[in-house]
Amino acid sequence: MYALGVGYHFRDDVAESVYLHDVTKAEVMEALAYPRRWPQRIESKVDARVLQIFSRTAEGNGVAVVVIQIDRWDWLIYAARPLEVDENAEYTVWEAQQ
């Protein structure tokens, strides 16, 4: 699946319930296509670039998506969940400044 020219791939090594927590695949893709995504680099033990992206669904719900870069323009969706209350507040402030 692609969002804004970037390839995003869902995990196929585990069940969806392991990496999608209270969000659907459709909501994850909506969030990854949202124009005001806030990527934050995460320190990781894997030899790859890992980002946590705060974003919103089409309905405006806050979502955190963790992605791992697997190629120049391709990312593996490692996990996704709704934003916590404090994360949503922080993201709302960040959005307003953009």
95: buried, middle or exposed (CB in 10 Å: 19+, 13-18, 0-12)? Answer: middle
pLDDT digits (tens, 9 = 90+) for 43-77: 887 778 999 999 999 999 999 999 999 988 899 99
Encode pLDDT of 24-36 as tens digits: 999 999 999 999 9
User: Which among 72, 96, 88, 98 is positioned nearest to 31, based on CA atoms?
Assistant: 88
pTM assigned to the model: 0.89
DSSP secondary structure letters along 49-74: -EEEEEEE-TT--EEEEEEEEEETTE
Rounded-to-integer distance, Cα 56 and Cα 15, Å: 24
Spell out the domain ranges in the chain: 2-96
CA–CA gap between residue 49 and residue 75 (Å, rounded) = 9
Question: Cβ distance 48 to 18 under 8 Å?
Answer: no
End-to-end CA, the chain:
27
* Residue 30 structure tokens: 């909506």
Summarised one tens digit per residue, pLDDT across range 2-51 is 555 678 999 999 999 999 999 999 999 999 999 999 999 998 877 789 99
